[in-house]
Amino acid sequence: MARVVVANGFGGPEVLSMVERPVRDPGPGEVTIRVRAVGVNPLDYVEYSGALGTDRGALPLPVGHELAGVVTAVGAGAAGRIRPGDEVIAYHREVPGAYASEVTWPAEVVVPKPVNLGWEQAAGLLLVGTTAVHALTATGVGDGDTVLIHGVSGGVGLVTAQLARLRGAAVIGTAGRARHEMLRGYGVEPVEYGPGLADRVRDSAGTRSVDAAIDAVGTDEAIDTSLALVADRARIATLLAFQRGNDAGIKTLGNLGGATDPGTEIRADARARLVSLAEEGKVTISVARTFPLAEAPAAHRLVATGHAGGKVVLLP
């Protein structure tokens, strides 16, 4: 039997509970994974919040999309590429259910765990990493560009900054002052959010233009500042403010809530490259805090504040 976190209703973290369920044997093209760590993401609570609909027929609703663990069984068609005992990470974008002590998932969503990442860091790589690659590709960030990243100290923002720097771009990022020293260590030019943000970004850029902007916080301030500073709206993207983004004619990225660009192929193609970059030490995952699996509601309350300061991870 596996311990599994599900949402028994629609609402806040109080609807989450732990249940026990049998683990399904892997079918063709599937693998079973004993979970060692689970990445927590804002998407997880959005799905049970009711913001995307309240179909009670979907309850109890599985939760979570990314994990790290050890393969325990392999179905027909997956053998040879994956073997029992392999350490892996997995990101199942279409079907939630990562909040569990053991899962059976399609082998196609599984890749080798980077050997130099601990379980907690590895569990947080794929969702933020593929999102970051999508955002940078959609806005065309490349060598010589200056990119503004709103919410740069969060899970997505920090990986986006690292990947942008690898592309040869300069990064200006918004964050609370307490995060600024850490961000400078990643080569980010930090600016504090709040009134006067656009002027502070201009001062940071100096004689450079701000060529692209990526919004990972979803605030009006982020959208307004991006529109004021970036001349080409095709080089502005939001990961959260979909209504404002669509109204403004900027790119809205994702597959939920009105976003118009899911980036399916870009994200799928990014997985193997992210593993390689992590193994080379070129991309790191900052884990802010871990919680036992049974404390998923507390983990969600922290993530919902928007100030976790890195990835939050559950440990079964």
How far is it, in rounded angstroms, from Cα 109 to Cα 111?
A: 7
280, part of any domain: no
* Co-location of 81 and 172 in the same domain: no
Count of CA atoms in the C-beta half-sphere (13 A) of 57: 0
Q: Are strands 2-7 and 30-40 parallel, antiparallel or unpaired?
A: unpaired
pLDDT higher than threshold 90 for residue 246: yes
180: CATH: 3.40.50.720
* Co-location of 218 and 295 in the same domain: no
* Co-location of 101 and 162 in the same domain: no
High-pLDDT (> 90) share of the chain, %: 88
Find out whether 132 and 36 touch, Cβ atoms under 8 Å. no
54: CATH: 3.90.180.10
Q: Which residues contact 130 (CB under 8 A, 6 or more apart)?
A: 91, 266, 267, 268, 270, 271, 274
pLDDT at 279: 95
Give the 3-state secondary structure of 129-150.
HHHHHHHHHHCCCCCCCEEEEE
The Cα angle at residue 242 between residues 127 and 209, in degrees rounded to 5: 85
* Co-location of 136 and 228 in the same domain: yes
- Nearest Cα neighbor of 217 from 238, 188, 190, 196 is 238
- Nearest Cα neighbor of 201 from 178, 224, 233, 168 is 224
- Listed in sequence order, the DSSP H helices in the chain are 42-49, 119-123, 126-138, 155-166, 180-185, 197-205, 220-229, 242-248, 264-279, 296-304
**Average pLDDT, integer, range 109-122:** 96
* Co-location of 196 and 289 in the same domain: no
* Co-location of 235 and 151 in the same domain: yes
Which of 233, 252, 271 is at the close of a domain? 252
pLDDT in tens, 73-105: 999 988 778 999 999 999 998 889 999 999 999
262, part of any domain: no
| Residue-number span of the structural domain to which 83 is assigned | 2-125+285-315
* Co-location of 234 and 175 in the same domain: yes
pLDDT in tens, 117-143: 999 999 999 999 999 999 999 999 999
* Co-location of 148 and 102 in the same domain: no
pLDDT in tens, 32-70: 999 999 999 988 998 999 887 888 888 999 999 999 999
pLDDT at 255: 84
- Nearest Cα neighbor of 123 from 35, 42, 235 is 35
How far is it, in rounded angstroms, from Cα 273 to Cα 143?
A: 19
pLDDT at 298: 97
* Co-location of 201 and 289 in the same domain: no
pLDDT higher than threshold 80 for residue 175: yes
pLDDT at 51: 81
pLDDT at 9: 94
63, β-bridge pairs = none
* Co-location of 141 and 119 in the same domain: no
Q: Are strands 30-40 and 61-62 parallel, antiparallel or unpaired?
A: unpaired
* Co-location of 115 and 183 in the same domain: no
269, part of any domain: no
Cβ–Cβ contacts within 10 Å for residue 94, how many?
A: 9
Confidence of residue 256 (pLDDT cuts 50, 70, 90): confident
312, β-bridge pairs = 40, 289
19, part of any domain: yes
Q: Are strands 146-150 and 170-174 parallel, antiparallel or unpaired?
A: parallel
222, part of any domain: yes
Distance from CA of residue 176 to its chain's centroid? Answer: 20
Distance from CA of residue 56 to its chain's centroid? Answer: 27
* Co-location of 145 and 246 in the same domain: yes
103, part of any domain: yes
257, part of any domain: no
What would the two tokens of residue 104 be? 């059976």
Number of domains forming the structure of the chain:
2
237, part of any domain: yes
Q: Which residues contact 157 (CB under 8 A, 6 or more apart)?
A: 149, 150, 151, 173, 175, 216
